[in-house]
Amino acid sequence: MNRWHRNLSDRPLCDICGVDDESDIQIFRNCKASKDLWTAIVHHQNLRGFFDLPLENWLLQNLTANQLLIGTATPWKFHFSSLLWKVWKRRNSTIFEGEGMSNADLYRMSTNWHNIMFHLRQLLKSRLIT
């Protein structure tokens, strides 16, 4: 994924923060923009260790978590996966279009998307049962 190692970029730095070298874990979790996003939405009790796991363990833990997003009826894993997708889209739009979305816009778009998918899933379940 690192564009610099593939000679697709003339510098190793993340295009979003300009501070850290770009890598998988840096884009999705440790970039300042991503870190601010996760810190704002992950319950403070779950923040301990959230930024410490290796990428694969971090993904697995969050994509298989069974708890709900606090204050909602939607599973955290739905929210987490849609946020990852939007973080990836922000990274690409920053690199290729010169602008990325704010965390507030990213969160709002992600929430709308996973709410639609969650309700469609519920609707399909109810139609299949009746």
Chain residues in the site for Zn ion (CB under 5 A): 14, 16-17, 31
Looking at the Cβ atoms of 22 and 80, the one nearer to Zn ion is: 22
Beta strands in the chain (DSSP E): none
Distance separating alpha carbons of residues 70 and 15, to the nearest angstrom = 32
Looking at the Cβ atoms of 31 and 69, the one nearer to Zn ion is: 31
Looking at the Cβ atoms of 37 and 69, the one nearer to Zn ion is: 37
Distance separating alpha carbons of residues 3 and 13, to the nearest angstrom = 10
Distance separating alpha carbons of residues 112 and 9, to the nearest angstrom = 33
Looking at the Cβ atoms of 4 and 118, the one nearer to Zn ion is: 4
**Least Å from the CB of residue 93 to Zn ion:** 14
Indicate the SS3 state at residue 21: strand
**Least Å from the CB of residue 17 to Zn ion:** 3
**Least Å from the CB of residue 20 to Zn ion:** 5
Token pair recorded at residue 17: 């923060």
Cβ-based neighbours of 35, under 8 Å, separated by 6 or more? 29, 51
Residues facing residue 68 across a β-bridge: 75
**Least Å from the CB of residue 31 to Zn ion:** 3
